[in-house]
Structures are given as C-alpha cells and as structure tokens.
Structure 1
Amino acid sequence: MAECSSVNKMASVCPEESTENDAMPREMAGESKLYIDIGSDQIPIVYRDEYNIRLCGMEKLHPFDAGKWGNVVKYLKKRQLVKDTTLVAPNEASEADLRLVHTASYLQSLKWSVNVAKITEVPPAALVPNVLLQKKVLKPFRYQTGGSVLAGKLAVERGWSINIGGGFHHCCGSKGGGFCAYADITLTIHFLLSHYPKIKKVMIIDLDAHQGNGHERDFIGRKDVYIMDMYNKHIYPNDTFAKGAIKRKVELSAFTEDDEYLEKVNTHVEGGLNEFNPHAVIYNAGTDIMEGDSLGLLSVTKQGIIKRDEIVFQKVSQRKIPIVMVTSGGYQRTTAAVIADSITNLNKKAYIDLSVQ
C-alpha cells in the first residue's frame, strides 16, 4: 500500500521468525459477527462512512487521501450507479476477530500512540492521546477490515464483490507498517477457508505498486494460498524473506508504462489461474501504479488501470471463480475518480452487475 517515509526504511514488516503467532484457532471465526446477510435490493459493494479518516487535519501530513473511500462512493452516486440503500455496511472487526490472525502482543502495541504513528507514517500522531487515535484512525481501519471479510462472503454468494476500502497488504499477524494496521487480506482468507468447505484454495492477485509482504509472511509455506505479486522492485518494502511466499513474482522497473504493464498482467494472471485453479480470488487493486504517484513510481495511465481491472475480472469471471476486490494504495487526489471509472467500466462490460432485483 504505502511506502515508508525516508526516516523509516524498514527491511521487512514482520520479523523472520514470526511466521507463526499466538493467534486464536481459525475455527473461532464461526462466533464472529462480520458475516451478515444482505437483501436482494443490495449490491455486493461494501462501504460505510466510517472508513474515512479525520484526525483534526493531521491525516493530511501523509500523502494518502484519507477521504478516498468516500470520494469513490460520491462519484458512483453521481452516476446513479449506487445509493445508500444498495450499498452494504459492514460491522467493525472486533478484537476477537482480529485475534484470529493477530498476536495479542501486536494488538496491545496499538494502544501506544508512538506505534500507531510509525504504522501510519504521521510522526506527530505520537503526541495524540491513544483514545483519539483508536477512534479516528484505527476504528476506520477496523471497519475496512470487517468490510473485506464481509466482501469474501458476498463474493461466494454473488460471484463478485468490491470493498471500497481494505487491502492492507503490509500488515501481518505480528506487525503493521506502511499505513497498514490490520491484516484484512489474511483475515478474509481465514474466514473463507473456515466457512466454506468447497473453498480449499485461494489465490491473491496483488497488483498494488508495492510488494505485499504482510500477507506473504502470513502465508509463507502454505500450499492452499497462491500469491501472484507484481510490483516496482525498486521501492519499499523489498522484503526478501517474504518473497519466498510468492508463487508468481513479477518485478517491474520504475516508470513502467501501459503496454509492458498490461502485457505482464495478461500473461501472469492467466498463467497463475491456470497453474493453481483457485476456488476464490482476492484482488488487491492498488491504484498507486498510476503515473505521477510519488510513492509507486510507475507510469501506468488512468485508462491503463481501468484496462488492468477489466483483464483481471474477465479472466476470473470466465472461470466462474468468486472474486473479492479491495482498493489498497493510491496517493493522488485523482485516484478516487479512477477507481469509480474502473467500477463503472466493469459494470458496463458486465463483469459486475450494479442493478438490483
């Protein structure tokens, strides 16, 4: 998702010895309140206003647009593609939910403001009372995490889903970083594997500009999770240990443009699907690949992003595999409009259906 600041060049998100943690057994997911039923008059797009971060203007000290998620929805509403009544509002991930993948010590560490400041890369946040950070920063992340988990359920039921937030791919079970406080991708997969006996293999297609070292550290050595990761090899996190979990690694040079980028997406998404034949797909659709993004340092156009998402949905949907899309990184003010344009295009091409019964 986000690149660490120049004063916090971490070699990795989690210690190499932390591939195992003291998280609760995943069977306890059955006691969670994150899986809720939705009506036929709703579409599997997950969002609530609590996703957006408002910390007395301090959120503007990070290049990330802390209101991106709400802006995406505003664009979709203007086009009359969604309404408040058709969107799905998720529940907040509770501590019990988070303990399914996170260590108790890590969750305890978030009660210290200095640790939250490091993860969000906003140094002045270290001086903010933790109770305020819990409410204004971590609670939005917990809602987005709940949204990703719920999106997993909806994808199984409807064939596809989009969480307007989520995609915190630098966070693993024992540590956060890069603006990622909770491991929503890992948690979503745990829920899928726990609740659906027919889902035995899950593929992560991570097309954010940064290496997804959080979920990679969580699933290293696992044969039921296949990771395709395509990223700029010259930027954060350059986590050599985590790369051992990647089954299909595509490292890009800085300022890669549309033609080369889309050719690699087409080739490697197809190859990964054929090689693994997953029962569900988590698509981390970061828009920090867009030209001008100072953290992603790639040169894909807006139309290139729209085409990228179309390629992924086309290849997954033609195999009738449930797909969950999360929005992940993207650090320009134009990012929200591009995401909305892509969702609009997916609807136009009939890879998703925004109509209600």
Structure 2
Amino acid sequence: MSHPGASGAPGCPHVSELYASVPRTCLPIVYHPDYNITFMGLEKLHPFDAGKWGKVINFLKEEQFLTDDNIVEAREAAEEDLLIVHTKRYLNRLKWSFVVATITEIPPLLFLPNFLVQRKVLRPLRTQTGGTIMAGKLAVERGWAINVGGGFHHCSSDRGGGFCAYADITLAIKFLFERVEGISRATIIDLDAHQGNGHERDFMEDRRVFIMDMYNRYIYPRDGYAKQAINRKVELDWGTEDSEYLQKVELHSEGALNEIRPDIIIYNAGTDILDGDPLGGLSISPQGIVKRDELVFRAAKRRNIPILMVTSGGYQKKTARIIADSILNLHRQGMIEAESLEGEVSSSLVTGMMRHSGNAASNVV
C-alpha cells in the first residue's frame, strides 16, 4: 500500500529508476562509492566508520571475488521513491541542518548550510537507501542479494534517529509488495545489536510482515511502543558471548521461518554485536559473526526463500574486514552463487514483475 503522499493511482506505481534491469554478468552485490561519508573530518565525530562500505568492497576485490565490472552500482533514491514510505513533512524537515545533526548525532552539522549537509551526508544515505531497494528486486530474481550499505532500522515514515535518516528496509519491502507479483509476505530478521524500532513502527499494523528482532535489551532505543510489533522478540543481556548467541540465532531464525513462510527475507546483519563495540555491549567474536550470517543464509536456502542482506551498524575499524570475510565464507559454503535459486524463480516474478501499464513499464523494467 502506498503512503498517501506517494504519486500515482493505486495499483500503478510511479516510474522509478531503482528497478532498472541488471545484467546477468553482475553479482547481486550492490554498492556505490557515494556510500562513503567524508567531509572535513566531521564524520569522525560519530563512532560509525563512515568509510566502512568502501573498505568492504576493497577487501572483496583483493580476494578477487569482485571486480568493478560485476558489482551492481546503486542509484540514489529520488524523492518520489522516498514518498512511498516517508511523509512529505518528514522529508521537508531534513532540509534543516539541525534536524540532520540530531538524527546523525554529529552536532557540528548544525552550523553547516543545508546544501552541504544534503550533498555530503544525506546523498550518501539516499544512495544506500536506493541500493537496498534495488537489492530487494535482485534478491527475488537471483535468490540472494547483498547491499553493502543500508540497514537504517531506526528510521520510520515520519522520524529518524541513531544515524538513520531514511527507512530503507520499509521502502524495500513496500516496493516489492507494490511492484513484484507473488511477493506478499516478508520476514525481517534483525540481528543488529540495537532494537529495530523504525521498521517496527512502520509495520505495526501490517500482518504481511513478520519481525524477528534480537538485540541488547539495555541499550538505545528502548522503544517500548515499537516492541509491540515484534513477532519473535529475543532480548539479550550485556556481554552475551558466541555459544549462547549462536544457539539463539539458529533456534529463533529457524523458528521464525517455520512459523510463517515468507516470500522474501530481509536480513539486517549489523556487526555492532562484535566484542568491544562501543555501542553494542555484546561480546561476539569475528568468527561468531561469520557463523551467524551463515546460519541465517542456510535457513533461507534450505527453504528456497530469497534473502536480502544489509550491513547496518558496526562501530569498530575491524568490522569492514569481518563483513568481507563473512561474504567470502557464504560463497565458500555455497550459500551465495551467481546462479538463481534452485528451481529458478518463476518467470512471472522476473519478467512479469511490474504492475505498470502503458509506457511506464518500459521505463522501469
């Protein structure tokens, strides 16, 4: 269902560049150099490594898993795309630098002209958001997709927070529901150290979306209202370690997928669970993170359910290497390949996916 602010009549989505076709020679891994936030060192005032995404890609290139030719280049989400979920009022508020400073937790942005904030901070976040939406379509077509950025799970339709200015997970799901035949149920498996209160608020009344969220119960955002939307809630204590953590990941991800079989899984794979993370408060080893991702992908592959992974939080310099190692492990384990899902996704999903009429279809397929 479109947000009231979205353009186009019901059943006729607006023309979007984000669902352009992607050559089969590309791996369904989405990235753009514009993901990285660099501006006069201001990005260093937030614990987030704002160049993390480029480092992941460089590691994957070094291992000869990726080249510039087989990466899918993300596109920036346009205002019309964002209006599928966000209110016009919220998007207008982002034109005030103090609002963006609050959301990103970088106070000096308050003193910068908004055109600079738009270009240096919000455009990278819009490009990552576009990447998540693009990766949703790719996951359906190929069986899996990874957006090397995204996972802004604290943002909902009308408010941002926690470095999250756009609700990319909600947007990816609504795009799929609106534009891809046969996609009518989604499961979010959110394993970032923080509660995913943004998508929870957005899907509070939506029975089509099943949410599993596993997080440190004592840290931000502690959003009691949003918790009502969680179908499978796993609250962790400070310092939870590998054995207990991985046991819970396996038990609850398998349980969630047994409870309701979705048409797509959105996996929020935050690395802020890593031992020593200044914000996550958990004690998971690098090997534990790699194993966690493998468990989730294995559960999806066993059931032949397409999976979209986004990278979300992670506040240490070493997280980029761990994300790259995890992707390489998924490849070694046969969880991700260039081929589509066994049995191929039905051609009606891939070729007849757009519910467009007339000329609009030719612009988006």
Q: Which TM-score band (shorter chain)? A: over 0.9
Paired residue for 1:272, among 256, 268, 272?
256
1:23 aligns with 2:2: no
Aligned residue identity for 1:332: Q
- The Cα shift of 1:21 comes to 6.6
Deviations 1:267-297 (A, max 9, x none): 0000000001111000000000000001000
- The Cα shift of 1:266 comes to 0.4
- The Cα shift of 1:29 comes to 3.8
Partner Cα distance (1:355, 1:303) in 2: 27
Paired residue for 2:239, among 232, 243, 255?
255
Structure 1 residue runs of 4 or more that deviate by more than 3 Å after TM superposition: 20-23, 25-30
Deviations 1:98-148 (A, max 9, x none): 011001110000000000000010101100111001000000000000000
Aligned residue identity for 2:78: S
Partner Cα distance (2:43, 2:134) in 1: 27
Deviations 1:80-113 (A, max 9, x none): 0000110000211001110110011100000000
Deviations 1:206-261 (A, max 9, x none): 00000000000000021100000000000000000000000000000011000000
Structure 1 segments unaligned to the other structure (5+ residues): 1-19
Q: Could you tell me the percent identity over the aligned residues?
A: 58
Whether contact under 8 Å (2:211, 2:229) holds in the other structure is yes
1:323 aligns with 2:288: no
CA RMSD between the two structures: 1.4
1:172 aligns with 2:137: no
CA 1:219–1:115: 2 relative to 1, 3 Å? same
1:302 aligns with 2:286: yes
Partner Cα distance (1:39, 1:297) in 2: 41
1:107 aligns with 2:91: yes
Paired residue for 1:148, among 98, 123, 132?
132
Partner Cα distance (1:47, 1:27) in 2: 30
Whether contact under 8 Å (2:142, 2:338) holds in the other structure is no
Whether contact under 8 Å (1:219, 1:225) holds in the other structure is yes
Aligned residue identity for 2:277: D
Partner Cα distance (2:295, 2:288) in 1: 10
| Pairing 1:1-357 to 2, within 5 Å after superposition | 22-24=4-6, 27=11, 29-353=13-337
CA 1:293–1:354: 2 relative to 1, 3 Å? farther
- The Cα shift of 1:174 comes to 0.1
Secondary structure in structure 1 of the residue aligned to 2:329: helix
Partner Cα distance (2:179, 2:95) in 1: 31
Whether contact under 8 Å (2:3, 2:84) holds in the other structure is no
Aligned residue identity for 1:23: G
- The Cα shift of 1:199 comes to 1.0
Whether contact under 8 Å (1:28, 1:100) holds in the other structure is no
- The Cα shift of 1:354 comes to 5.3
Partner Cα distance (2:12, 2:166) in 1: 18
Secondary structure in structure 2 of the residue aligned to 1:149: helix
